[in-house]
């Protein structure tokens, strides 16, 4: 199970041909208390880098981009009733959607955990 990270602070966990996507712990800390998550519809197809979801906090609304091209095969419906799960478990139960990857090579430029941590460390 490989996890990759983007400069836009999304994570993607590859599980065969399908991947789980959410926002990183760093992103949820920057946003603050999350009050709403707008998820894509199952069956929607996205190009790499396209806006796939929106997360709203008490501070701001922020777009969530597709780290790879593909088709949405599942969404985390539990976030509708409990969007704060993104704050408490951003890289676990707070996942946003599952995407069937159109081209796994889209992730070749995504960072591993060490590279992402170094990237975030350089933002301060």
User: Distance between CA 50 and CA 64 in Å, rounded?
Assistant: 8
For the chain, the structural domain boundaries read 2-102
Global pTM? 0.95
Identify the pLDDT of residue 14: 93
Contact 112, 24 (CB under 8 A): no
pLDDT in tens, 61-100: 999 999 999 999 999 999 999 999 999 999 999 999 999 9
**What CATH class has 2-102?**
mainly beta
> Looking at the predicted structure, is the pLDDT value of residue 58 above 80?
yes
| β partners of residue 3 | 13
Q: What would the pLDDT profile of 20-49 be if each residue is shown by its tens digit?
A: 999 999 999 999 999 999 999 999 999 999
Three-class SS state of 47 = coil
């Amino acid at each position: 199970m490989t996890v990759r990270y983007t400069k836009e602070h999304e994570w993607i966990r590859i599980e065969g041909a399908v991947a789980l996507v959410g926002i990183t712990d760093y992103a949820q800390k920057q946003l603050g208390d999350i009050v709403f998550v707008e998820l894509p519809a199952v069956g929607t197809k996205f190009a790499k880098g396209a806006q796939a979801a929106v997360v709203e906090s008490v501070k701001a609304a922020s777009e969530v981009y597709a780290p790879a091209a593909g088709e949405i095969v599942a969404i985390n419906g539990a976030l509708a009733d409990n969007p704060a799960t993104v704050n408490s478990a951003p890289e676990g139960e707070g996942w946003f959607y599952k995407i069937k990857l159109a081209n796994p090579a889209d992730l070749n430029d995504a960072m591993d955990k060490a590279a992402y941590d170094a990237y975030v460390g350089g933002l301060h």
